[in-house]
Each structure stands twice: as structure tokens, then as C-alpha cells.
Amino acid sequence: AQKITQTQPGMFVQEKEAVTLDCTYDTSDQSYGLFWYKQPSSGEMIFLIYQGSYDEQNATEGRYSLNFQKARKSANLVISASQLGDSAMYFCAMKGDFNKFYFGSGTKLNVKP
């Protein structure tokens, strides 16, 4: 069965420090995509970063990087140099066969000044 697990309901990080949000997944699909979304308090869902299961390099988008460890089935999001505006809910998601998406339960990140 396809499943996304985010084990950190909430996290705190000091401004300007780096933080890692954990995500593990379970799938029997050979080809899949991994995504991270940010949901600020205003409610919209913002796409952050994508990693394909065949990609050998870890994805990076500005201050966001995805630490992809295929053998361990983990796709952790690393945010470098945290900013106050990074305070939000973060969702890990997986796209499998037939365009199906699976979301984790989310991690609420609070950045402290």
C-alpha cells in the first residue's frame, strides 16, 4: 500500500538556522515522484520542490533541498537559513501510477526570531 509518513507534528527552529523535515514513504511503484508543499496560515498550498525516483541527484530549489535516500525510502526536506516567513505547515507527497497523489499528515514549522 502507498503511504507517506511525517513523524514530526511540530518543530521549532531558530531564525537563520537550517532545519530538516522528515518524510518516509512506502510504495510498490517502480516510478514515482516526491513533492513538498508549504501551507502558510493563509491557507494556500505552495509547491516547493520535486524529486523523481530515477533522479540520482538531490533536488534543490533556492533554500530548499530534498535529501533523497531511495534505499531508505526517505525524502527529507532541508530548509537552509530559515526565515520567519518559513513558518507554515509542510506536506510531503508522492505521485504514483495513474496520477495518484498521497499526502503525509504534515509538519508544522515555527521559526523563532
Partner 1 sequence: DSGVTQTPKHLITATGQRVTLRCSPRSGDLSVYWYQQSLDQGLQFLIQYYNGEERAKGNILERFSAQQFPDLHSELNLSSLELGDSALYFCASSVAGDRRNTGELFFGEGSRLTVL
Q: Dump the DSSP string for 64-90.
A: EEEEEETTTTEEEEEE-S--GGG-EEE
What pairing do the DSSP bridges indicate for beta strands 107-112 and 10-14?
A: parallel
Residues 90, 54: Cα–Cα separation, whole Å: 24
Site residues for partner 1, 31-70, by CB under 8 A, read 31-33, 35, 37, 43-45, 47, 50, 52-54
Q: How far is the CB of 55 from partner 1 (least distance, A)?
A: 9
Among positions 59, 95, 109, 111, the unique one binding partner 1 when judged by CB under 8 A: 95
Q: How far is the CB of 93 from partner 1 (least distance, A)?
A: 7
Residue 101 near partner 1 by CB under 8 A: yes
Sign, CA dihedral 65-70-72-74, equals positive
| Total chain residues near partner 1 (CB under 8 A) | 28
Answer whether 67's CB lies under 8 Å from 92's CB: no
Residues forming the site for partner 1 (CB under 8 A) = 29, 31-33, 35, 37, 43-45, 47, 50, 52-54, 91, 93, 95-106
